Structure 1
Amino acid sequence: MTAVTGQWPTDGVRTDAEHTAEQDLRALFGQSLPGFASFAGSEHVLETANPAFLAALGAARAGTGLALAEIAPGLVDQGVIAVLDQVFRTGESCTSRDVAVGPAAGAQARDAFFDFTYEPRRDGAGAVIGVRMIGVETTQIKHAQRLMIEQRALVEQIARQAPLAEVLDGMARCIEDLAPEQLLVSVLLADRDGRHLRHGAAPSLPDCYNEAIDGIATGEGVGSCGTAAHRREPVIVTDIGTDPFWDDFRELAGRAGLAACWSTPILARDGSLLGTFAMYHRVPRVPQDSDFALARVFADTASLAIERHHIEQAKAAAEARAEAARDELTQALRAESTLRAEAEERAEAAAELAARMRTAAAAQAAAPHPERCQLGGPESCTAAAELKIADSWGDAAWGCTSHVEEAILNVRSVFIASEELGGLAAYLNR
């Protein structure tokens, strides 16, 4: 068998919601045919039955003439034979609801559920000679109820922003329970660039398998999921053992006990790739309409959950950037305030120094002093000497206002000399 692509019913990125929903509901929960059978005697020997009844029991026409307990031994444990005994003995009708009938299509099939009605058969004298059974399958009704409950629960999880892994894991388990035959579900999430697929959820697949495919590339021939992601269309591999898409993964699939894989891409509303949704089977298998319908229902749910997750991630990143910007602005404002305060302090100190220098210059104007500034260094200064400064070592010099101010600001021990003090002797004799 080879891979089939483009067969998973879809219409571009999204199909018409109402039309698709109606089709899916019909495929998943279509009407069941009633089964009818007539039994004779206290051993409940099958005299006649319609095909629907025989199919429900997994029996053939050859079952006619055999006791029901021989045809379907499992019904003994379900209490059906006991009810037949009761109706045959009492002659009163009876009804049994949601009776589980074991799988008739092999180990991969699931139990089916039926409502049975039992009516006594009488002869001309009114004696009970047998029992008639009418069965209506309720499996689809039970699954429909379960589907609605699970869908509502998943949507509620998405609405309350439950972790994506939790939503996808719950969705995968729900599908595995609802499917008519045993399957294993996997959801892979696409990287932002759409080039690789990461593990999302696969509760029933072996850990070794999940770890091995985590991070696989998207591309032609990269298994079912890598190819579906690359093509943006479903890829149905009915037999992994012979399909060329699985050449590089066949041994891995064999160790995991996987024989078929149907994968469909999960697409966002704008058509971008969000991930893949895969159904694995233990035996080679061709999908039915109900499989397609189940995949569509939950692919939309997965899309909603993943898009919501991306929105929340983008929102959180934007909030983090905004918070960082607010912190940077706060720090800038604090720095600006500090600089302004320092500038004001420097301005006040400069004004105070300028006032002191003006006062000192006026006081020293009459004292003998050189004509030119002595503080200009090797290049000398031609400005008029106006102030005398000294240091704690006893050195003194005259300078212009610019060089005097520079010396006072840059040399810690320099101060404006006062002729009035008269030096240390004047201080000691004060």
Structure 2
Amino acid sequence: MTAVSGQRSVAAEPALAEPAADEDLQTLFGQSMAVFASLTGPAHLLETANPAFLAIVGEERVRNGVALAELMPELAGQGLIELLNQVYRTGESRTGRDVHVMLGTGPHGREASFDFTYEPRRDADGDVTGILVIGVETTQVKNAQRLMAGHRALLEQIARQAPLAEVLDGMARWIENLAPQEVLVSVLLADPDGGHLRHGAAPSLPDFYNQAIDGIATGEGVGSCGTAAHRRAPVVVTDIATDPFWNDFRDLAERAGVAACWSTPILARDGSLLGTFAMYHRTPRVPRDNDLALTRVFTGTAALAIERHHIEQAKAAAEARAKAAHEELTKAVRAEQKLRAEAEQRATAAADLTARMRAAAAAQAATPHPEHCQLGGAQGCTAPAEIKIADSWGDAAWGCPAHVEEAIINVRSVFIASEELGGLAAYLNR
């Protein structure tokens, strides 16, 4: 559905279905039209014309017997009338390839390309009486060639996982170059909750404008893009100066020099909001079928790029979580190994201290209160023997404060005993 707005924005009838992809391609790649017109006299009065010519001029404007310059005033200054004058004056045929012509004026104007042939018409005496104009419109052929090249390049970027900003910026620039009339393309990206839109790409819009709309909320009446995101449907504002959707942004748009904005939501395959694709124009404009078809084609391409980006982001996040979990597991294993090694070291130390205590207890009968610490091991300890310790088995020894503390920490059932008594008896009778 498309919401078209001039004075106000309204939704199209729900019964109207979106055109199929092949219809969009047919619109963009449609067959070239052959036009024919017979002009008479030096003023180039329209005598006869085929339906294709009438369609280009606009059937409501066509009147036989009226000068071509009057029927199509937009041709003034484009060189076509001057060329017709030259053919009529010289009687020589002229041809032109890929001639660019502006058809129509204002919001309904469009630029087209033609291959033209101008043939003089002569009377029985050989005098020029008019001109036959035969032309083939090549606009769609030219656009199709450029579109295919640009679309292929974008798909290649997506396939090689180019950064999303690079893909969207390239897409915007390509469309701006492809469009027959000046257009400024903007892509906004939806937050995960779909409540706000963030800057994605807008290479031709002023920086102050992009910064101002970065983070706008999605909602009814929030410009073209906020409304399109909220409705999940295209919104076409043909005249920003009068549209109520732009009440809060009208001054900003005027500063940026934009007068029309057509916005289309970019949707994922599951229908969730990915962002918006917008085409801005310097003057009020009504979209044509090929404009809307071009929008749909590249909106689909943008959806592909954004979804691919989200998949890569999710994959990277999952890999980061897996890596973090692996690192935590590694830390836990290393911590467990460290604790086990420390436990083994404590067990070894306890066994060693127990052996020292028993050796000291055996010698204690001869030396009840030794001068030096008995717990220093093979290397000995020269510190004074100040504290007596004992265990549950009746073994006792004298040690310095440092070795006594080590024994209490590492040997089970070790306690400080009285100086007179030793072992468990001293502990029980304290």
- What amino acid does structure 1 have at the position aligned with 2:218? T
Partner residue in 1 for 2:154: 154
Instruction: Give ranges in structure 2 of 5+ residues lacking alignment.
Output: 1-6, 408-430
- What amino acid does structure 1 have at the position aligned with 2:339? L
2:239 partner SS: coil
Q: 1:4 aligns with which of 6, 10, 15?
A: 10
Deviation by residue 1:368-424 (Cα, 9 ceiling, x = unmatched): 759xxxxxxxxxxxxxxxx977985644665423597898596248999xxxxxxxx
Query: Structure 2 matches for 1:99-178, cutoff 5 A?
Result: 99-106=99-106, 109=109, 111-117=111-117, 132-178=132-178
2:385–2:400 contact (8 Å) kept in structure 1: no
Distance apart, 1:227 and its partner CA: 1.6
Partner residue in 1 for 2:414: none
Partner residue in 2 for 1:234: 234
TM-score, normalised relative to structure 1: 0.74
Distance 2:181 2:295 in 1: 14
CA distance 1:353–1:53, change in 2 (3 Å): same
Distance 2:406 2:281 in 1: 95
Distance apart, 1:175 and its partner CA: 2.4
Distance apart, 1:141 and its partner CA: 0.6
Partner residue in 1 for 2:30: 30
Distance 2:46 2:405 in 1: 128
- What amino acid does structure 2 have at the position aligned with 1:286? V
TM-score, normalised relative to structure 2: 0.74
Asked if residue 197 in structure 1 is aligned to residue 197 in structure 2, the reply is: yes
Deviation by residue 1:166-217 (Cα, 9 ceiling, x = unmatched): 2112222222333344332221111111111111112222222211111111
1:411 partner SS: helix
Partner residue in 2 for 1:411: 402
Distance 2:271 2:405 in 1: 78
Distance 2:13 2:145 in 1: 28
- What amino acid does structure 1 have at the position aligned with 2:391? T
Partner residue in 2 for 1:291: 291
1:115–1:137 contact (8 Å) kept in structure 2: yes
Query: Structure 2 matches for 1:259-270, cutoff 5 A?
Result: 259-270=259-270
Partner residue in 1 for 2:340: 340
- What amino acid does structure 2 have at the position aligned with 1:2? R
2:107–2:285 contact (8 Å) kept in structure 1: no
Identity %: 61
CA distance 1:395–1:254, change in 2 (3 Å): closer
Distance 1:21 1:187 in 2: 21
1:186–1:277 contact (8 Å) kept in structure 2: yes
1:223–1:245 contact (8 Å) kept in structure 2: yes
Aligned residues: 386
Instruction: Give ranges in structure 1 of 5+ residues lacking alignment.
Output: 371-386, 417-430
Partner residue in 2 for 1:316: 316
Query: Structure 2 matches for 1:273-288, cutoff 5 A?
Result: 273-288=273-288
CA distance 1:405–1:133, change in 2 (3 Å): farther
Distance 1:332 1:405 in 2: 40
Q: Which moved more, 1:190-199 or 1:170-179?
A: 170-179
Distance 1:413 1:139 in 2: 99
Distance 2:86 2:327 in 1: 77
Deviation by residue 1:331-373 (Cα, 9 ceiling, x = unmatched): 2232222222222222222222223333333444x54759xxx
Distance 1:304 1:414 in 2: 70
Cα RMSD (Å): 4.2
2:121–2:128 contact (8 Å) kept in structure 1: yes
2:165–2:200 contact (8 Å) kept in structure 1: yes
